[in-house]
Amino acid sequence: MSGGEINPTELTAAIINQKATILEGISYAQEIIDGSMTMLVMTDKGIYAARDRLGRTPLVIGKKHDGKCVAFEDFSFFNLGYERERELGPSEIVFLTADSEGTLKAPQKKMKICTFLWIYYGYPCAKYEGKTVELVRARCGKAMAKRDKGEISPDIVAGVPDSGTAHAIGYANESGVPFSRPFIKYTPTWPRSFMPPTQKKRNLIAKMKMLPVTELINDKSLLLIDDSIVRGTQLGETTQFLYNNGAREVHVRPACPPLLFACKYLNFSRSSSELDLITRRVILEREGDKSEEKLSVYADPESTEYKEMLEEICKQLKFTSLKYNRLDDMLDAVGIDPDCLCTYCWNGKE
């Protein structure tokens, strides 16, 4: 591999080259790669487009009068004059030219698409399996508001920009508590904060992006919605930032359940090590050598262990209160067959 390091793209190309044809090689790669390797292979005749075996990541075809295109997300080609034609199914392989499209391998029925596409990764106007990201996030917020009814009385609802915004709007619309933006994200020159490889750089970027609107923070009870809690570092610092600007209370509502397992399928996932997760660190402190055996108990929102884990996270990160979205509510918000959704990072189920 180039530079003496393993490169996923080069490794996949090497696998494809083990077979006599590109089609056979792509099919072979789909069979032996456990994670997601949705791919495009360009040749002088056209483009091979292949979705990974279990459809963990999407691929969508666009069309216009004089051409075809294919992309991870449909919104990427709308302003180029293309319209959405269809999504590829799991394991499907097609061959595209400017004026033709041929299916070389039919899709399989079994699918495990990444649920986090709707909760965090996906762009708001993107659509996967017919479900628009923005609307799914609003439904998540609505479900959390219903669970909170009568329990707390915040002055405003806010989302951690940008991925928490639609969740917060859904919560505000259901609860009747006004949606506001107590801090603004300054985006020029700064990349998405989960992308840099070191925690120090991630923290710096997250901090430099935040600018307060003090009139919406000072002496206010805030309900803050983020897409998830991974390490807890950034959300803890955001909470302290709000307290430093005069917030009276900061109630936190992550839009997905507690992350208990590091993703082993996608190379852009929210965590790559179990001990990156604040949940796993808390469980390890509580259970020691037995922590692995008791993960299923901590995944159950009705269990005493689950509630005590949340209390400890709330204490460590200095939230006024903490309540996660439930797995069943989140899956209902997505709105497709739950058996087609990957939930490994929340419940460890393959």
Smallest CA-to-CA distance from 145 within 157, 136, 162 is with: 157
Which structure tokens are listed for 312?
Answer: 């400890």
Residue 194 has pLDDT above 70, yes or no: no
CATH 3.40.50.2020 fits 114-347, yes or no: yes
Instruction: Give 97's Cβ-side CA count (13 Å radius).
Output: 5
Question: What is the C-alpha to C-alpha distance for residues 18 and 29, in angstroms, rounded to an integer?
Answer: 10
The pLDDT value recorded for residue 209 is 74
Question: What is the C-alpha to C-alpha distance for residues 99 and 66, in angstroms, rounded to an integer?
Answer: 7
The pLDDT value recorded for residue 200 is 65
Smallest CA-to-CA distance from 159 within 140, 149, 151 is with: 140
Tens of pLDDT along 153-168?
999 999 998 889 999 9
Asked if residue 54 lies in contact with residue 110, where contact means CB atoms within 8 angstroms, the answer is yes
Residue 116 has pLDDT above 60, yes or no: yes
Question: What is the C-alpha to C-alpha distance for residues 135 and 142, in angstroms, rounded to an integer?
Answer: 10
pLDDT confidence bin for 6, thresholds 50/70/90: confident
Nearest-10 crossing angle of helices 199-209, 233-244: 30
User: Concatenated DSSP letters for 268-310?
Assistant: T-S-SSGGGSHHHHHHHHHHGGGTGGGHHHHT-TTSHHHHHHH
What's the average model confidence in pLDDT over 105-117?
A: 96
pTM above 0.75, yes or no: yes
- Burial class of residue 182, CB neighbours in 10 A (0-12, 13-18, 19+): buried
Tens of pLDDT along 26-73?
999 999 998 889 999 999 999 999 999 999 999 999 999 989 999 999
Strands (E), the chain: 39-42, 47-50, 60-64, 67-71, 83-87, 93-97, 100-105, 113-114, 127-128, 131-132, 156-159, 183-185, 210-212, 221-225, 249-252, 321-322, 341-342
The pLDDT value recorded for residue 276 is 86
Q: What three-state secondary structure class fits 222? A: strand
Residue 317 has pLDDT above 80, yes or no: yes
Range from 68-72, 99-103, 185-189 carrying the lowest mean pLDDT: 185-189
Residue 287 has pLDDT above 70, yes or no: yes
Question: ∠ CA 326-333-53 to the nearest 5 degrees?
Answer: 95
249-252 vs 321-322, strand pairing mode: parallel
What's the average model confidence in pLDDT over 138-145?
A: 98
Ranked by mean pLDDT, the top range of 29-38, 81-90, 271-280 is 81-90
Give domain limits for the chain. 2-110, 114-347
pLDDT confidence bin for 179, thresholds 50/70/90: very high
Q: What DSSP designation does 118 have?
A: I
The pLDDT value recorded for residue 270 is 57
